[in-house]
Amino acid sequence: MKPFSLGRDRNGRELPVVEQSDYLCALVFAGPGSQSIPIPSGATFAAFASTGAYWVRVGGSATVPAADVLDGTAAELNPPSRALGGATVLGVAVPLACTVSVAFYG
C-alpha cells in the first residue's frame, strides 16, 4: 500500500496534490443504509469523497443520527480524511442514495 505523499514537480519540490492510492474502495448505496468495510492491512488513514452526504465511524458501525447523540458515539458527517489508529473496520452510513469513495494509505 502506498504511503500518503505529496506529488513533486520536475525539480523535486512538493506540490499541493496527493499521490493516488493503490487501494481504493467504492460503496454504492441505492438508498439510505450503512456498510462496514474491513480496513486493509497496513492502512494508517483513509480519504473520502462522495456524491452525497455520508457519516463515518472509524472502528465501528456508522448510523445516520435520528436524534441527538450526546454520549460521544456519533458517526462524523463528511470527514475528508481520518487517521485509522489501528482500527480493523470502517463504518459508513448515508441518508440518501449516493456513492462513497474511500482511498486507503499506509
C-alpha cell at 78: 463528511
Q: What is the mean pLDDT of residues 35-58?
A: 97
Q: What does pTM read for this prediction? A: 0.87
> 103: exposed, middle or buried (C-beta count within 10 Å: 0-12, 13-18, 19+)?
buried
Residue the block writes with cell 472509524: 58
Reported as a single tens digit per residue, the pLDDT across 14-38 is 887 788 899 999 999 999 999 999 9
